Structure 1
Amino acid sequence: MFLSNLLEPVKTTAREAGAILWEMYQSGNFTEQQKQDSSPVTTADLAANSHIIAKLTALTPHIPIISEETHLVPLSQRSDWARYWLIDPMDGTQEFVARSGDFAVSIALVEHGWPALGVIYWPKEDVTYYATRSNGAFKQHKNLINRMQVHQHQSDQPLRIAVSRRQPLQPIIERLHPAQVIEYMPLGSCSLKSCLVAEGKADCYLRLGPTGEWDTGAVQVIVEEAGGRILDSQFASLSYNQRETLANPDFMVMGQAAVPWQQLIKATSSDRIL
């Protein structure tokens, strides 16, 4: 009941933050700067971040918040948190700046070290993806709600892989079995590509390169409730709030469990975050 009571207010908060992003996107009334890690941040990220934090604080004043756009408290202060909010106010800032429209709001609730509630809102399409643990995953477009399920891939079909619009394709190709027929599906935003797998439009998404736990928190529960998995490049589980840094290793979002993923995708060890 705790999760179900939170779901609708969190969906509303994500949509409100998305409306802030969309208004600034359409008007062009934002500025961009570089963070210390050289990734971009805009005044739109920060405006959405402030709105989400204010709403979540009012909703659950006793639950702490981790956001990509706020200072991360030391592990010694957060390691014993039983639950916390994990947010990315705008996943896909590069897409926002590049004017593709492929950016999203991401809000997760992590309980006892694992995501239990996830909401992703895509302002351009007015689509909300959401899930709570043990209750299924759903896609909502306006008032139309459909339950999501990963694609039941057949061995004689091409493997549909979601890929970035902004990153080179060759590193992905090198990870795949050369005999497998591949259909590549370009889309912006890490979370939106993961949701493609959850709703069955893609079979897999390989993420190579820097991400944070806020990039996988919400989609972790959405993908799992749709029948898929998110694993690191060694086919091991991700972790949450276990390290001083919240950097993710390279990871894979995989659909149907019956697909022989370890035969189709080469495991690597060089990108493991310790």
Structure 2
Amino acid sequence: MADYQKLLEVAKAAAIDAGEKIIEIYESGDFSVEAKSDDSPLTKADKASHHAIVGYLEQTGLPILSEEGSAVAYEERKDWDLFWMIDPLDGTKEFIKKNGEFTVNIALIAKNTPVMGVVYTPVLKDLFWAVKGEGAFKNGSQISVNDKNLSDPQLKVVASRSHLNEETEQFMSRLTDPEIVSKGSSLKLLMVAEGEADLYPRYAPTMEWDTAAAQILVEEAGGAVNIANSSIPVTYNKENLLNPYFLVKGKL
């Protein structure tokens, strides 16, 4: 049996170190959004974070699946019992806008389920973590979701004002005078986890590494990350690493 507490400490250290590497590039001066070469600061930040995290996680001897790493064939990874899934820098647009709403995400996946998650916000220096069965925490303090009813007025719904697609609008139309709150990257899931929002409908594409770490945080805070229009949790290490549409919710 893996020692989750020991693995958690490794993941925390990795996330913080990666965050520091990202900030060095983030604060290194203006950079061109148009720069598409492999040497653009954004790519540098992704890669610097990836290498920092891998340097820590390799010591655990567990396989690693990273957005910035080389692709691993499904034939190989389908037999993984326990592995790391990482998104070294989630929130590309936020990084470019310099609004600080980007994160480092490290998840531990057992079979198809997240059992540990660490999310770090390099600008705010907030460290979130959760281990299955042990609760969710922000900077050492336990966090929990809101306890609401779907019929309550003015539920806080995380959504992008500029990308309210038809499915999202249909979902919103069933609510009573909902309040839209906006946020970048995996922080959208964390808003639900810490009770800053009640719902996050995601009816647009995301990848598994975008959500894995934050999903266990939501679940350990008392909420759920379910496939849209179902009570089935989002699962991981599928042949196609694209997530289904999903709904993040507190106690509803």
TM-score clears 0.5 = yes
| 8 Å Cα contact 1:231-1:252 kept in structure 2 | yes
Q: Which residue of 2 aligns with 1:233?
A: 228
Q: Which residue of 1 aligns with 2:158?
A: 162
Q: Which residue of 2 aligns with 1:42?
A: 43
Q: Which residue of 1 aligns with 2:78?
A: 79
| 8 Å Cα contact 1:33-1:41 kept in structure 2 | no
C-alpha deviations, 1:245-274, integer Å up to 9, x for none? Answer: 211112111111xx2xxxxxxxxxxxxxxx
| 8 Å Cα contact 1:30-1:42 kept in structure 2 | no
Q: Which residue of 1 aligns with 2:200?
A: 205
Give the secondary-structure state (helix, strand or coil) at the position aligned to 1:33. Answer: coil
Separation of aligned partners in 2, 1:248 and 1:41: 24
Structure 1 residue 183 and structure 2 residue 179: aligned? yes
5+ unaligned residues in a row in structure 1: which ranges? 260-274
Separation of aligned partners in 2, 1:195 and 1:168: 20
| 8 Å Cα contact 1:42-1:93 kept in structure 2 | no
Separation of aligned partners in 1, 2:174 and 2:236: 33
Deviation (angstroms), 1:159: 0.8
CA RMSD in angstroms comes to 2.1
Separation of aligned partners in 2, 1:34 and 1:207: 31
Structure 1 residue 132 and structure 2 residue 131: aligned? yes
Q: Which residue of 2 aligns with 1:113?
A: 112
Deviation (angstroms), 1:201: 0.6
Structure 1 residue 150 and structure 2 residue 145: aligned? yes
Identity, in percent, stands at 40
Q: How many residue pairs align between the two structures? A: 244
Separation of aligned partners in 1, 2:175 and 2:136: 33
5+ unaligned residues in a row in structure 2: which ranges? none
Deviation (angstroms), 1:178: 4.2
Q: Which residue of 2 aligns with 1:254?
A: 249
Separation of aligned partners in 2, 1:152 and 1:102: 26
C-alpha deviations, 1:226-262, integer Å up to 9, x for none? Answer: 000001223233221121x211112111111xx2xxx
Q: What residue identity is the alignment partner of 1:221?
A: I
| 8 Å Cα contact 1:95-1:101 kept in structure 2 | yes
| 8 Å Cα contact 2:152-2:176 kept in structure 1 | no
For residues 30 and 134 of structure 1, do their structure 2 counterparts lie closer, same or farther at Cα, with a shift above 3 Å needed? Answer: farther
Q: What residue identity is the alignment partner of 1:10?
A: A
Q: What residue identity is the alignment partner of 2:157?
A: I
Separation of aligned partners in 2, 1:237 and 1:77: 24
C-alpha deviations, 1:133-181, integer Å up to 9, x for none? Answer: 00000011xxxx211110122554411011236x422532232234511
Question: What is the TM-score when the length of structure 2 is the normalising length?
Answer: 0.90
For residues 224 and 57 of structure 1, do their structure 2 counterparts lie closer, same or farther at Cα, with a shift above 3 Å needed? Answer: same
Deviation (angstroms), 1:34: 8.2
Separation of aligned partners in 2, 1:87 and 1:159: 31
Q: Which residue of 2 aligns with 1:99?
A: 98
